[in-house]
Amino acid sequence: MAQLNSDSIAARETGLVPVFEAVGLQKEFDDGQVQALRSADFKIVEGEFVAIVGPSGSGKTTLLQMLGTLDRPSAGTLKYRGQSLLDLPDPAAYRSHEIGFVFQAFHLLSTFTAVENVQIPMFENHKSRRERKTRALELLKSVGLEQRVDHFPAKLSGGERQRVAIARSLANSPSVLLADEPTGNLDSVSARHILDLLSSLHRDRRMTLILVTHDMTVAGRASRVLQMIDGHIVFDGDPANLSAPRPA
C-alpha cells in the first residue's frame, strides 16, 4: 500500500482534509511550447462525483492522469489526503491500492476471459488463486455479468466490455475511481447503462468518482463540474449552472 504519513491517515479518518488538493498546477510539453495545464487550483472532497469537461486538448485527461500519478506536473502542488503525490515513495502501490481506473478503450487482454481480466490487479496483493477468482466472480455479478464470466472480450458487446473494465477497477477496493471518457466508445443505450452503473457504485460504495467527458449530458449526472478550456479551469460548480463554454 502507498506509504501515507500519519497526518494523511488522520485526515482519512476524520474527513476534514480533501481527497485531492491542487494549487498552481501546471503541465508543459515540448519545452514549454504546449501548456496543457495553466495554474489549476481545486479541491475534491471525500465521496464527491466530479465531472471534468471540456473540448479535446483542454487538459482534462492530463489532469486525470496526474491524479492517478500516470503523469507529473511541471509546477505546482498536488496532494492526496494531505500528502504530496510528487513525493510518494511508491506511486505504483498508490495506484494499486487507492485508485481504480476506467478507460474509454477498455484495455482488456484479448486472450483472457472476463473473470481472468478482473483478477489481473489482484496479483500485486498476493491473493491466492481461489481468493482472486472468488473476488472476480463477485465483482462481475455486481456489474450484471454473472452469465458472461467465461467469455473472451471479442465475444462481449462494448457495454459488456466496459462493465468488465469497471469490475476490474474495483478489484482492490479503491476509494477513488478515475474514469476517462468511459462512455466514449458506446452507443447511447449502453452509455446510459454504464452511467447508471457508475452512479450506483458512487452512491452504494461511497466512492469518490472523477469522470472526464466532453459530453454535457454525461456531466449532468455529476454533483459538481470542473470545466476546462486551454488548460484553465474556467468553471467550478453545479452542472445546472453551466451553460455555454466560457473563454479562458
Beta strand spans in the chain (E): 20-29, 34-44, 49-53, 75-80, 83-84, 99-103, 176-180, 208-213, 224-229, 232-237
Specify the pLDDT at position 3: 43
What's 145's DSSP letter?
A: -
pTM of the model: 0.87
Specify the pLDDT at position 9: 44
Specify the pLDDT at position 12: 45
Taking the domains of the chain in order of start, what are their residue ranges? 6-239
Beta strand spans in 45-181 (E): 49-53, 75-80, 83-84, 99-103, 176-180
Specify the pLDDT at position 246: 47
| 147, 180 contact by CB (below 8 A) | no
Q: Which residues, given as ranges, of the chain have pLDDT below 70?
A: 1-17, 32, 243-248
Residues 6+ apart with CB under 8 A from 81: 4, 8, 11, 12, 17, 18, 19
Q: What is the pLDDT of residues 109-149, one digit of tens each?
A: 999 999 999 999 998 777 889 999 999 999 999 999 999 99
Specify the pLDDT at position 34: 75
Specify the pLDDT at position 32: 67
Question: Domain 6-239, what architecture?
Answer: 3-Layer(aba) Sandwich (3.40)
Specify the pLDDT at position 4: 46
Specify the pLDDT at position 57: 87
